[in-house]
Amino acid sequence: MSVAGWIIMLLSVVGMTSLFCWCIRKVLTVPEASEHIHSQSDIDPHDQE
């Protein structure tokens, strides 16, 4: 395997793997839409027992 072959292989494999890992990390760390958007029903008026 030539040096150029090694470079292309490493760039392709590491590049795709890094992009995929970054995406999954971002997806998992960002809260779901329903978790950070509050509707009126989420408001607790604190005056009702």
Compute the least distance from the CB of residue 43 to other proteins, in Å. Answer: 18
How far apart CA 14 and CA 26 sit, in angstroms, is 18
Residues that bind other proteins (CB under 8 A): 1-2, 4-6, 8-9, 11-13, 16-17, 19-20, 23-24, 26-28, 30, 32-34, 37
Report which of 2, 1, 24, 4 is spatially closest to residue 12, judged by C-alpha positions.
Answer: 4
Is the CB of 36 or the CB of 46 nearer to other proteins? 36
Tokens 């072959």 belong to: 5
Shortest Å, Cβ 48 to other proteins: 28
